[in-house]
Amino acid sequence: MRNRVIFSIISVLILINIAASLQAEDDGVEVLLENAEKAFRKGNELLDINPEQAAESYRAAVVFYESVISGGTVNAALYYNTANCYLRLEKIGYAILNYRRALLYDPFDRQIRYNLDYARDLQKNDFESRAENEILRILFFWHYLIPFGWKTIVLISANLIFWTAFILQQIGLRLRNTLIIPLIILIAFGVSLGFDIRSSEIEYGVITADSTIGRLGDSLSYESAFDAPLYEGVEFKIKQRRVGWILAELPDGALVWFEEDDCGIVEE
Amino acid sequence: MKLIATGKQILLFLIFLFTASVLSAQGLSLTAELSDDQVWLGDSVQLMLYLQGSEEAISPELNIPGVNVEPLGGTVRSSRSVTSINGKVTEDIRKAYVCSYRLTPTSPGRIVIPSIEVNVEGQTLKSSQAVLAVREPAASDDFSLELEFDRNAVYIDERVYLKIGFFYGQSLRTLELSIPGLEGLNYESMPVDDERERYEILINGNPVIFGRDDKGNFAGLSALISIRPEMAGQILLQRSTASFESVSGYKRVQDFFGRIQNQEVYSRTVIPGNTTVVDVLPFPKFDQPEDFFGLSGDIDIDVVVTPQEVHIGDPITLTLNINKMNNPDVAIPPLGRYLGGGIDIPDTRASAAINGSTKTITQTIRISEDWVTEIPTITFPYFDPDAEKYKNASSAAVPLTVLETKIVTSAELEGVSQTGDPTGKVLLERKKEGIYHNYTGKKLLQDSIPVIERLQSSFLIKFLLLVPPAAFIAVLILTRIRPHIRRRASARIDKHRDLRKLKKQWKKVDFSNVHDVLKLFNRQVSVYLERWGLPDDDKLIHVLEALEAAVYGRVEIEPLQAQELTAEILILLDEGVKDAE
């Protein structure tokens, strides 16, 4: 009897403690978000009349949003809001970095894509696209233009149509021509998705420092790869990482080393 | 007994944990702190409000008599620490928010910063009082601050120049000037000659370029500030101060090699400036034209009209330049009253452009009557402060050639651009600037994983991708493979049945009439083999040839031999069936 009482008390205490800590955690996140929204709104109100205070408010909003993210709550909307704050602070690099992170979580969102394109327009560096890239973009336009989620939907639909038509043909209906179109779509989108999944294993980065020097090697003693610095917002593929340095493939195919502190990694 | 003891220990441990987690909840508090408790008149101190226990942004409005308060914004100052003692990990989050203000006293003496109240999370928090001692600056023989207007009186909008000079006979650093009364004025600093050394000095916190301007034995800096007074009255500059660090002594220090050297010791000094004043006169009422609208200066007007050859209703761009204005911000009345009849002017017009002392107004107009031959003279009355009297500034008339009539639509009169759409709808063009709004609400609280990971691990996607081919395989099995198997199984049964029947039929046969019996047997075997095929068995072929020889070759054969032959054929056929299976 005594044991049962002790265990009952223990159970109740455990439950109260867990419930209290969970509630505190939820409340904490909600308070941080509320503060972030307030600070962002205040920034918007002050932007025209007192830009310095507006910037202070945007910075506070960033701190709140990033606190929520570092606390473990992660989603597209949080990254998107953080990116908007950075864009208001004219931190193009951090804005692009966070928009790209948001797209990982919701590639369908039109607002994220619109704002990302806008941030990219503000980026100062321009790169010549490689000729082979242009040809590939024209030949396999669906691979480059259609987001991953839509491709999945098209693949599933084509898969369903193709096999249904194939089954109907087995039963006796003559559907030879009907089979060809879904089969082509199935192959085209299947291969495209395969590439997407493979490229999702590639890490991407963005220059977040105001400007940085791209070097030929992983030390400050190496020569600069360009005659001018690269500005914030330049996006690149990460080919290799060494202590404090990143080997990046730029949009024009050039390979350069950046100091890790000057860059942000999209996939974290 | 041992179990109860262990249970008690666990209970005590959990009570400790529970109590610790409750105790770790931070209380709310508000503290006000001054960066210094003494300040020279004209100098400023920072007041910081520390909110502990919350990250809620606070920015209370402060009204402290005798002090100019400038909010400097706030920031979150939370800290987080993780400790691990005997494997028990404790996370300590200390929330805090700090906002600060710059306080600039306007009078000497003791100033009490009152208790500040804020509402945070439903609680009212109060800071303690603070006291600030404000010292009045004293004049010095080594330093002087001199302010001088270039005249004693000016009219509204007429520029007056303030010369600010600072002269010093000792080394100094971190010079800042405070000129109360200058903040609310419309002023700008005049450029410094190229040949003079330039220094950037803060006046009331704003940078102003000073040039080197020595006077006698004193080194000096001076700047010229142009002020455009906007209201009649007086510009009184008093209690100006110069604040800087000057050498107050020397201390002996040992350098790296052990040599003794004298090092300068700086201390903060604040000196007062002189009081200076200028009267600002209103525009005189005497002789003031009725249509005077506040224009002053040495005004001249020019008008440019394009095109000058137009149809009735065609848009014409009229550009009006008003030059040498004392105040280019003066609002210009609608042009309709100056242009007369026969000319349509929309109510709206493009905002004016200001370049130095010139204001440019661009207006789209349309001729509505064919008797209009010119854009008439436009005349504005203005006040010339140098001559101290009102004058008129007029533009030259611009001749127009008006061609055949054209119907003018109201939309055209309003200056709204038309598309080729016969319905008159205006095609909107999407702007390419700006960003979309932030998200709010529950969406921000939902935890998520990247889409590619979500799709890769999605059961539904795998199901939708794998079910159609699986269904196809099922249909294929049902429609093609299964009937074939069934047919094969059925044939095997029939074959067995036929052979069994044959064997049963030839179990007890009278072989006395050998030839006829063998002939019948041969026919029945032929029918069987025709249906089920001849097994690949040499021995069987051999005995079948022997049977055919006995039936068709008239070979004499004994009944016993015939019986053995039929029995052997049936055995070999049976073996053939088993081999085939």
Q: Residue B74: closest CA among chain A residues belongs to which residue? A: A56
Name residues whose C-beta falls within 8 Å of residue B131's C-beta, 6 or more positions apart in sequence: B37, B110, B111, B112, B113
B143-280 and B291-413 agree in CATH topology: yes
The pLDDT score that the predictor gives to residue B251 is: 83
Closest among B65, B46, B70, B162 to B114, alpha carbons compared: B65
Rounded Cα distance between B16 and B20, Å, is: 6
Residues of B in contact with A155 (CB under 8 A): 465
Q: Which domain holds residue A88?
A: 2-122
**Residue A122 φ then ψ, to 5°:** -80, -15
Q: Tell if the CB–CB gap between B75 and A114 is shorter than 8 Å.
A: no
Domain spans of chain B, in order of start:
24-135, 143-280, 291-413, 484-580
The answer on A45 and A87 residing in a single domain is yes
CB-nearest partner of A170 from B55, B455, B475: B475
Burial A15-47 (b: 16+ CB within 10 A, else e): eeeeeeeeeeeeebbebbbebbbbbbebbbebe
Closest among A30, A31, A90 to A59, alpha carbons compared: A90
Query: B229: cis peptide before it, omega within 30°?
Result: no
Interface test with chain B among A161, A167, A195, by most B beta carbons within 10 Å = A167
Which of A:8-27 have CB within 8 Å of B? 9-10, 13-14, 16-17, 20-21
The answer on A101 and A156 residing in a single domain is no
Q: Does A140 touch chain B (CB under 8 A)?
A: no
Residue with tokens 């006979």: B169
The pLDDT score that the predictor gives to residue B421 is: 55
The answer on A106 and A16 residing in a single domain is yes
CATH fold of B24-135? Immunoglobulin-like (2.60.40)
Residue with tokens 């966070």: A98
CATH code of residue A218? 2.30.30.40
The whole-angstrom distance between B311's CA and the closest CA on chain A is 43
The answer on A117 and A6 residing in a single domain is yes
Closest among B416, B402, B426, B412 to B315, alpha carbons compared: B412
Name residues whose C-beta falls within 8 Å of residue B411's C-beta, 6 or more positions apart in sequence: B418, B424
Q: Does B260 touch chain A (CB under 8 A)?
A: no
Please list the residues that pair with B201 across neighbouring strands. B208
Q: A249, exposed or middle or buried, with CB in 10 Å at 0-12, 13-18, 19+? A: middle
The answer on A111 and A76 residing in a single domain is yes
β-pairing, B353-355 vs B358-367, is antiparallel
β-pairing, B276-281 vs B241-254, is unpaired
Report the CATH number of the B291-413 domain. Answer: 2.60.40.10
Q: Tell if the CB–CB gap between A84 and B438 is shorter than 8 Å.
A: yes
**Amino acid identity at B35:** S
The answer on A83 and A16 residing in a single domain is yes
The answer on A91 and A53 residing in a single domain is yes
**Residue B434 φ then ψ, to 5°:** 90, 170
Rounded Cα distance between B234 and B149, Å, is: 12
Identify the segments of chain A with pLDDT beneath 50.
1, 7, 11-24
Q: Name the token pair of B354.
A: 């200001």
Residue with tokens 């989603």: A75
Residue with tokens 């299947």: A190
The answer on A89 and A49 residing in a single domain is yes
Task: Using alpha carbons, list the distances in angstroms from residue B53 to A26, A28, A70, B505.
Answer: 17, 12, 20, 108
Task: Using alpha carbons, list the distances in angstroms from residue A6 to A17, B163, B201, B406, B488.
Answer: 16, 87, 75, 100, 74
Q: Residue B481: closest CA among chain A residues belongs to which residue? A: A170
**Residue B119 φ then ψ, to 5°:** -105, 115
Q: Where are the alpha helices (DSSP H) in B399-537?
A: 410-413, 451-456, 459-476, 482-505, 514-532
* Complex prediction ipTM: 0.75
Rounded Cα distance between B72 and A73, Å, is: 32
Task: Using alpha carbons, list the distances in angstroms from residue B80 to A172, B92, B94, B95, B311.
Answer: 71, 6, 6, 8, 76
Rounded Cα distance between B356 and B432, Å, is: 32
Rounded Cα distance between B337 and B346, Å, is: 13
Burial B29-41 (b: 16+ CB within 10 A, else e): ebebebeeeebbb
The answer on A247 and A154 residing in a single domain is no
Count of the separate structural domains present in chain A: 3
CB-nearest partner of A78 from B18, B57, B444: B444
- Cα B196 to the center of its chain, rounded Å: 45
Closest among B380, B393, B359, B386 to B155, alpha carbons compared: B386
Q: Which tens digit of pLDDT belongs to each residue from A27-36? A: 678 888 999 9
CATH code of residue A69? 1.25.40.10
Size of interface A-B (CB pairs under 8 A): 149
Q: Tell if the CB–CB gap between A163 and B456 is shorter than 8 Å.
A: no
pLDDT in tens, chain B (581 residues): 444 445 555 554 444 444 344 334 458 889 888 888 888 777 788 898 889 888 888 888 888 888 888 888 888 887 777 666 666 667 777 888 888 998 888 888 888 888 998 988 888 898 888 889 888 777 788 889 999 999 899 999 999 999 999 999 888 888 888 888 888 888 888 888 888 888 889 888 888 999 998 888 888 999 999 999 988 888 988 888 888 888 888 888 877 777 788 888 888 888 888 889 999 999 988 888 888 888 999 999 999 888 888 887 778 888 889 999 988 888 888 787 788 778 887 766 666 788 888 988 888 888 877 778 888 888 899 999 988 899 999 888 888 888 765 554 555 555 554 444 556 667 777 767 788 888 988 888 888 888 888 877 888 888 888 998 999 898 888 887 877 888 888 888 888 888 888 888 887 778 778 888 888 888 888 888 888 888 888 888 888 888 888 888 767 788 888 888 888 888 888 888 888 77
Q: Name the token pair of B206.
A: 């704003």
Rounded Cα distance between B120 and B98, Å, is: 13
The pLDDT score that the predictor gives to residue A16 is: 46
Strand locations in B143-205 (E): 143-149, 153-155, 160-168, 172-178, 187-189, 198-203
Q: How far apart are the first and last CA of chain A?
A: 54
Angle, nearest 10°, between helix axes B559-580 and B482-505?
A: 170
CB-nearest partner of B479 from A75, A148, A170: A170
Q: Is residue A167 a contact partner of residue B472, using CB atoms and an 8 Å limit?
A: yes
CB-nearest partner of A163 from B73, B76, B472: B472
3-class DSSP assignment, residue B513:
coil
The pLDDT score that the predictor gives to residue B487 is: 83
Rounded Cα distance between B5 and B73, Å, is: 58
H/E stretch holding B219 reads strand B219-227
Rounded Cα distance between B90 and B99, Å, is: 29
Angle, nearest 10°, between helix axes A92-105 and A110-122?
A: 160
3-class DSSP assignment, residue B276:
strand
Q: Which tens digit of pLDDT belongs to each residue from B404-451? A: 655 545 555 555 544 445 566 677 777 677 888 889 888 888 888 888
Q: Among A71, A105, A122, which residue terminates a domain? A: A122
Closest among B576, B506, B525, B521 to B551, alpha carbons compared: B521
Please list the residues that pair with B121 across neighbouring strands. none
Q: Which CATH class is domain B143-280?
A: mainly beta
Q: How does DSSP assign B223-258, residue by residue?
A: EEEEE---SSEEEEE-S-EEEEEEEEEEEEEE-TTS
**Residue B254 φ then ψ, to 5°:** -100, 130
Rounded Cα distance between B57 and B77, Å, is: 11
